[in-house]
Homo-oligomer: A and B are copies of this chain.
C-alpha cells in the first residue's frame, strides 16, 4: 500500500533535542489530552525509542515542567504585545485585557490548567507573567500589600482559567425521568428551581447549560471591581 520510505532514506531523522521533545509533548497533549502523553508515545512521535528521551530530559516531571513553561512563553508573547495604558484608574482595563488574552491561549491548550495547578509556580515564564501583572497594579497605585492580596484573590483566574467545578448537568443522572426527576426536586429543591428557571428562560442554553466565557468574565469583573474600590479607598 503506502511506501514506507521515511525510515530508510534521507537524513534518517532530525536529531532529538530538548526543544523538539517539548514541542512534540505539547502537540500530543493538545491532540489527545494529558493522558495520551507517555514517554513511549512521545518517543514514537519523534521516531525514536523511549529511552532516547532521557538523554535530553531528566525524566517525565521535567517534560511537564517544560511544557508548562512553553505555554507560559506563548502567553507572554501574546500579552506583551498588548500595550494598554495602565496608569491610575486604567489599571483595571489593562489587567482585564491581559487576563482575557491569556485565556485565549489556554483555550487552545485545554490540558494546561491541570499542569499549571501542580507546577506553574516553578515556571520562569509564569513568574514573569505575574510580575508584569503586578506591575500593572502598581501603575494603578496599588500598595504592595493590596497587590499581594489581589494576586491571591485572583488565583488561577489571573492566568485565565477557573475550575469549572460546578456542572449540574452531570448530577441529574442523565437517563432518569418522571419519578427520578421528582425525587431530585425534593432532594435538591434549589438546584431544581435554578435548572427550571434557566431552561425556561433560555431553552437553547440547556445543552451547554452555562456560558463559560460569560461566567468567567462575571467572576473576573466582580474581583476587579472590588479591588478597584479598595484601591480608591486606600489612595484617598
Contact = CB atoms under 8 A, between A and B. Distances in A.
Interface string A110-139: 000010110011111001101110110010
A226 interface: yes
A194 B137 CA distance: 12
Nearest to A197: B144
A203 interface: no
Nearest to A194: B144
A121 B166 contact: yes
Interface in A134-169: 134-135, 138, 144-145, 147-149, 151-156, 158-159, 162-168
B134 A152 contact: no
A215 B153 CA distance: 7
Nearest to A144: B197
B165 A155 contact: yes
A210 B145 CA distance: 11
Contacts of A114: 117
A132 B189 CA distance: 9
Interface stretch (A20-28, A78-86, A98-106, A216-224): A216-224
A190 interface: yes
Main secondary structure of the interface of A (DSSP, over half): helix
A164 to B, nearest CB: 8
Interface residues on A, range: 35 or more
A166 B189 contact: no
**Number of copies of this chain that the complex holds:** 2
A198 interface: yes
A190 B191 CA distance: 44
A117 B165 contact: yes
A165 B159 contact: yes
Nearest to A225: B226
20 contacts: A114-B117, A120-B166, A121-B165, A121-B166, A122-B170, A127-B191, A128-B188, A131-B190, A131-B191, A145-B197, A149-B219, A151-B166, A152-B215, A152-B219, A153-B222, A154-B219, A155-B164, A156-B165, A222-B223, A223-B223
Interface of A: 114, 116-117, 120-124, 127-128, 130-132, 134-135, 138, 144-145, 147-149, 151-156, 158-159, 162-168, 170-171, 187-191, 193-194, 197-198, 201, 210, 215, 218-219, 222-223, 225-227
